[in-house]
Structure 1
Amino acid sequence: MRKVGILGGTFNPPHIGHLIIANEVFHALDLEEIWFMPNQDPPHKLKEGVVSDHQRVRMLEIMVSEHPNFFVETLEMERQGPSYTYETMQILTERHKDIQFHFIIGADMIEYLPKWHRIEELQELIKFVGVNRPKHCSESDYNILFIEVPSIEISSSLIRQRCKEGGTIRYLVPEPVRKYIEENLLYGP
């Protein structure tokens, strides 16, 4: 059975921290691939500097293009209505019966797992892989394989704020992503 990691998020924008997490888990678990899976932006998150779903996917495609085992999975972008991880992973496990999925979450999401939709059934479909996040606890009653990754406090909100203020985002995002953001006037004032 193939082993594939799933790293979900809004990726608004994707940044170096996402790549570090993916790369560390990829090597630690000897995975065959990592699929970056952008989700829909919930309406309550829409604020200044909003970009289209197409632009978020394009930035991800640009970011992963240099790694031969990193890919973008757009299933959640294609679905209508709320996208629950359980339903998404049900679809993916049905489509890919030869894959054992390792769902990568940060310690902030580990704390939130008890509130996830159909969490017990979800644990039967996938293996959770937890990674450390600054200021969050990684302890859980759920079965989670924990991988220590270098702690780098980079967030998409920091990058959006920097862009809005006209500051630099060099080295916070891969250079081709930075160029895409600047050329398309994303997140700017």
Structure 2
Amino acid sequence: MFDHNKHIGLFFGSFNPVHVGHLALANYIAENSDIDEVWFVVSPQNPFKNTSELVDAKHRVNMLEDSIGSYPKFKVCDIELKLSTPSYTYKTLNELTFLHPNFHFSIIMGSDNLINLNRWKNIDEIMRLCTIKIYPRPEYPIAEELLTDTISIIDAPVFNISSTLIRKGLSEDKDYSYLIPKKAHDYIKNHGLYKFHH
């Protein structure tokens, strides 16, 4: 099969853990936009985040793999786990465009990230390598003046679920079996992840 000019949406995140909001959003975008596939780009430790709650990348990749099953428009991408840290987006994009020269990449990001975009390292290089698709997040209206030829809004329903909320609930023994994909939920239970430690 020839993949010439396939349009790939890059959905970056720690997926700690993956939840139905991630999958539902990506599923909607994959079925209702010009994006052919959504790749879940698993982030290593974020230098700006408290990492004590971040489970090992191997577990996060496994949970994603289990959750996406055989849906052909989803792929788990562990490229950032193989690059030097900290993982800068421009480095990831350079590597992806080198590996897949015929693909067109778009970063899928929430409207809460748009305001800080100009602070990203080598943002000019990022904008040269890809386009950016902004989806709505509650309480973060999209400032029209920030939209350009390469930054556009992607229509998608709002899913206000956070991994932080889910981790907190799991640590309190809440049953979140409808907020986490079943296979990921089973994986968490089987591996004893996100248990509350005194």
TM-score range, shorter chain: over 0.9
Query: Percent same amino acid among aligned pairs?
Result: 34
**Helix, strand or coil at the partner of 1:101:** strand
Whether 1:171 aligns to 2:178 is: yes
Residue correspondence of structure 1 range 1-189 to structure 2 within 5 A: 1-43=5-47, 44-47=49-52, 49-139=53-143, 140-142=146-148, 143-189=150-196
Matching residue's letter, 1:158: L
TM-score of the aligned structures, taking structure 1 as reference length: 0.94
Q: How far 1:182 sits from its partner (Å)?
A: 1.0
Bigger Cα displacement from structure 2, 133-142 vs 67-76? 133-142
CA distance in 2, matches of 1:150, 1:115: 27
Q: In the aligned structure 2, how far is the partner of 1:111 from the partner of 1:172? A: 29
Once residues 40 and 86 of structure 1 are traced to their aligned partners in structure 2, the CA distance between those partners, rounded to angstroms, is 15
* TM-aligned CA deviation for residue 95 of structure 1: 1.1
Q: Is the 8 A contact 1:9 1:37 kept in 2?
A: yes
Q: How many residues align?
A: 188
Local SS of the residue matching 2:26: helix
Rounded Cα–Cα distance in structure 1 between residues aligned with 2:188 and 2:70: 18
Q: After the TM superposition, which of the residue ranges 63-72 and 86-95 deviates more from structure 2?
A: 63-72
Does the 8 Å CA contact 1:2/1:32 hold for their aligned counterparts? yes
Once superposed, what is the RMSD of the aligned Cα atoms? 1.4
Q: Is the 8 A contact 1:104 1:129 kept in 2?
A: yes
**Distance in 2 (alpha carbons) for counterparts of 1:102 and 1:78:** 21
- Kept in 2, the 8 Å contact 1:101–1:127? The answer is yes
Is residue 28–residue 147 contact of structure 1 (8 Å, CA) maintained in 2? no
1:125-164 deviation digits (Å, cap 9, x = unpaired): 1010110111113222553121122112110001100011
Asked if the contact 2:41/2:78 (under 8 Å) is kept, the reply is yes
Spell out, residue by residue over 1:94-146, the C-alpha distance to the aligned partner (whole angstroms, 9 max, x if none): 11111001110011111210111111221111010110111113222553121
TM-score, structure 2 length as denominator?
Answer: 0.89
**What are the Cα deviations for residues 60-97 of structure 1, in whole angstroms up to 9, with x where unaligned?**
11111141221111110111221110111011011111
Instruction: Show CA shifts across 1:13-53 (max 9, x none).
Output: 01111112211221222322111101112254212x43111
Cα displacement string for residues 159-185 of structure 1 (whole angstroms, at most 9, x for unaligned residues): 100011111212111111111111111
